Amino acid sequence: MLFSIRVFLWTIAAELEYRLYPWVEEAPPQDIAKKYNLPEEDFNKNLHYDWIQSHDQKISRLQEEMIWVQQEIHKLNVELKTHD
């Protein structure tokens, strides 16, 4: 019963989304692109660039954290050796 209600509501939402979507083609119309200041480049190219840039930032941060952890481990090792 609940499942059928969910499916029915989902169908209505999907139909509304289909009817309210401003364009059917891949590229938005020129007037829409200018009005909302959309990038002129291909969306997929921009998406891939942002994805790569995001991963590069994550990798850089992880490398910095790894270097810090290695330094802390080295400090602890030096402290333990001096106390023995």
| CA–CA distances in Å: residue 24 to residues 4, 30, 33, 40, 61 | 29, 14, 14, 18, 40
0.75 cut: is pTM over it?
A: no
| Structure confidence by residue, pLDDT tens digits, 41-82 | 666 666 777 888 889 999 999 999 999 999 999 999 998 887
Query: Into how many domains does the chain fold?
Result: 1
- The domain in which residue 22 lies consists of 2-83
